[in-house]
Structure 1
């Protein structure tokens, strides 16, 4: 049985053997070398050049460590490591940034009923595990089915599921440390060894579930806070948000206005083998070369991508907490990025462009004006994310929840989540003084332009 070792930046020497080695050498895994973990974050954090491939190896190593800490048998350990190796193979260029375009342009009408509400990149992952000849030859049909069940809802063992996808999963444990290291920050650092020593599998609701020991609460607090601070300081960094939105808008313009056939084929998912075969041929560099450098002059998509290549970024001209708007406006603003609200978003962006044209005494291309809203969950809410709450083992008693056992999180009001509305636009200012003066003048007119174009909202009021 072949064994290989990698010298990993985060975990030092990590080992893989047998079928794991064969999977790593498969084209669907090697493709991840060309997809950066944090898209264009290197424009603000120059070291953030790590890839989905690096991360995948790290997640697999951590999944194995968790299995060992929990005392899982050889077969269970093998299964969670296979799932970890394959969990990201459905990602497109620029990782999560592609998800927005896939969700917007997928042809869901042709998908089976059970897939119409699934995330597209997850459907691509399942399709690859089911149909990629190299993967099936390596794992065999039965293991492919088991891995798919583990990556989807419904697998019978909550402990294995918790290692692969849950509030304490191997994915989070790796990306917090990896993203911190490559961004050159300490926000995501936590004691991974103490966290793993705190893991335990115990009976709850008629099944074994992943929990932490009571004496591991502080280690989990550190982990959750690391996730909160890295989200706040890196994933929601102003430049990171702008670059992500520029890529997303470039794709949208390339499909809807430029009608670029190659771009349409890349994002109009229909579940067909033809789509998958084409999709697997793309990574970050091919995307930028094809739709940036090689695209026809005058292409709206090319203009935005070339701005990214030159680090000629859109400017943030508006930033305001959602709570500063009327109660009626808040929910609409938080949903403004959803495909169902495309017309509303366009209407607001046209109004914003008009205000900016008056301020800067120059034409402002509304196609490049981007309205964006986002949320930063409270540290307490971050302990759950979209998954179940973290369970705390209490021997001889019913398991408790982290929020009840943690004095720190009990003191945090869960409602204290931050929600913001921002606008990015193709404008310039002479210097910081000019910027501050213009932003002060624009604050009220832009707020009114946004609010008055929301359906059913007439009221204007002062900042």
Structure 2
């Protein structure tokens, strides 16, 4: 006798539970492909245990989305004002429908990821495409519509797209206040469960404590609260410290893991390889071709190219396979930025002129400011901005990195050259401006 519910063991959430309709999504081609897409690209070359995949992350996001939905739709947690703005909260049939849509959207939210996830997405997709758009195309595909239509009652594919992408990525779709709140559960800047799961999961597999926070307490204190722009996810005053911990965890994971200079240079080498190996230097957006390409095919091509100098991408592939990555020559320094805000660009340009453009790489990135203006339900019933209650959030720093790398056999010479010329290089551009 087949079971109506299924349990999957998980190192983060202990068990992930799903019903038979959700199991059909799990067994689908687009979802099974995620077993072969690394969550953190080639981070495992630096942190050996970081071999986890988008597959288990997506299961975790579904599990957390269901938990948050149960908390924020609990009648004891809903004010009369919110109930008037969101009539769906008083309609059991609609609540059941939207819970199913939410869990399916959470399960599908990463289906469009390219091989090695974010590593090469921005540069190697055609103009106007990203993994969210590919996710949308997959959810709307005939293959997935057959699953949505077989559910009782049938699920509208467009509703799943809305919750999986949110208003920012599906800006051509009209969101009701209810749909906007539900999409926030998955992809929200402050309390999106996508972020909650990847911080906890990445931290666990890498072997660091930076990404851990009390997500149990945070979820238990989440509420739908009124704001000037409509209902939004917020938190009770008692959960504010857990919210602070979430945003601090994000900051520390970015500084200590996601922007580790060695992790970043492997992303650059991977992009170098793909730009030469892919037909036309771009990923194909045809769904069949997308679904047939995973990390496995790319890794096989990298190993093959590393052994044959005539293969496209040989140089980058050889460096990846032999761990002969470019070495850091320069790192952003506050004193340099005071003299010249574009100090990294100046060093990179001078190094390219001295050692040749093929022997130098630069990686510069400034993180978007984290969302800290979420509403907080104070103990006296007032709704306040989190920034007014939390000095931690008010002064949360933004991650900025600027690395210049040099070919490893040139590193010693380049370091000596930079020591002798650093002041001139960084000061010259400032004078010219």
- Give your verdict on TM over 0.5: yes
| Residues 176-215 of structure 1, C-alpha deviations (whole Å, 9 max, x = no match) | 1100000001000001100111111133347432110011
Structure 2 residue matching 1:188: 3-state secondary structure: coil
The match for 1:217 is 240
Structure 1's 395 and 283: CA in aligned 2 closer, same or farther, altered over 3 A? same
Question: Equivalents in 2 of 1:146, 1:307: separation in Å?
Answer: 45
Contact 1:57 1:85 in 2 (8 A): yes
Shift of 1:85: 0.6
- Alignment of structure 1 residues 160-309 onto 2, 5 Å: 160-166=182-188, 167-205=190-228, 207-252=230-275, 254=276, 260=277, 262-264=278-280, 267=283, 269=285, 275-294=286-305, 297-299=309-311, 301-309=313-321
The match for 1:40 is 42
Contact 1:318 1:443 in 2 (8 A): no
TM-score normalised by the chain length of structure 1:
0.77
- Alignment of structure 1 residues 16-415 onto 2, 5 Å: 16-71=18-73, 73-103=95-125, 106=126, 108=127, 116=128, 119-131=129-141, 133-140=142-149, 143-150=156-163, 151-153=165-167, 154-156=174-176, 157=178, 158-166=180-188, 167-205=190-228, 207-252=230-275, 254=276, 260=277, 262-264=278-280, 267=283, 269=285, 275-294=286-305, 297-299=309-311, 301-321=313-333, 324-325=336-337, 330=342, 351-356=350-355, 366-375=357-366, 381-384=369-372, 389-394=373-378, 399-410=383-394, 412=395
Question: Equivalents in 1 of 2:332, 2:386: separation in Å?
Answer: 32
Q: Which stretch shows the higher mean deviation, 145-154 or 3-12?
A: 145-154
| Residues 127-151 of structure 1, C-alpha deviations (whole Å, 9 max, x = no match) | 11112x2211001385211011222
Question: Equivalents in 1 of 2:64, 2:136: separation in Å?
Answer: 22
The match for 1:361 is none
Contact 1:321 1:419 in 2 (8 A): no
Q: Which stretch shows the higher mean deviation, 301-310 or 286-295?
A: 286-295
Structure 1 residue matching 2:111: 3-state secondary structure: coil
Question: Equivalents in 1 of 2:326, 2:159: separation in Å?
Answer: 45
Shift of 1:458: 5.0
Question: Equivalents in 2 of 1:20, 1:448: separation in Å?
Answer: 62
The match for 2:406 is 425
Structure 1's 329 and 350: CA in aligned 2 closer, same or farther, altered over 3 A? closer
Structure 2 residue matching 1:216: 3-state secondary structure: helix
The match for 1:459 is 432
Question: Equivalents in 1 of 2:55, 2:366: separation in Å?
Answer: 28
Q: Which stretch shows the higher mean deviation, 287-296 or 150-159?
A: 287-296
Q: Which stretch shows the higher mean deviation, 181-190 or 236-245?
A: 236-245
The runs of 5 or more residues in structure 1 that have no matched partner are: 109-115, 255-259, 270-274, 337-344, 357-363
Structure 1's 442 and 351: CA in aligned 2 closer, same or farther, altered over 3 A? closer
Structure 1's 138 and 268: CA in aligned 2 closer, same or farther, altered over 3 A? closer
**What do you get for the CA RMSD once the two structures are aligned?**
3.0
| Residues 210-257 of structure 1, C-alpha deviations (whole Å, 9 max, x = no match) | 1100111111111111111111111111211111111122223x1xxx
| Residues 18-64 of structure 1, C-alpha deviations (whole Å, 9 max, x = no match) | 21100000010000110100011111111000000010011110111
Structure 2 residue matching 1:428: 3-state secondary structure: helix
The match for 1:11 is 13
TM-score normalised by the chain length of structure 2:
0.82
Contact 2:112 2:134 in 1 (8 A): yes
Structure 2 residue matching 1:76: 3-state secondary structure: helix
Structure 1's 351 and 207: CA in aligned 2 closer, same or farther, altered over 3 A? closer
Give the aligned length.
Answer: 396
Structure 1's 76 and 419: CA in aligned 2 closer, same or farther, altered over 3 A? same
Question: Equivalents in 2 of 1:102, 1:394: separation in Å?
Answer: 47
Structure 1's 245 and 143: CA in aligned 2 closer, same or farther, altered over 3 A? same
Contact 2:364 2:402 in 1 (8 A): yes
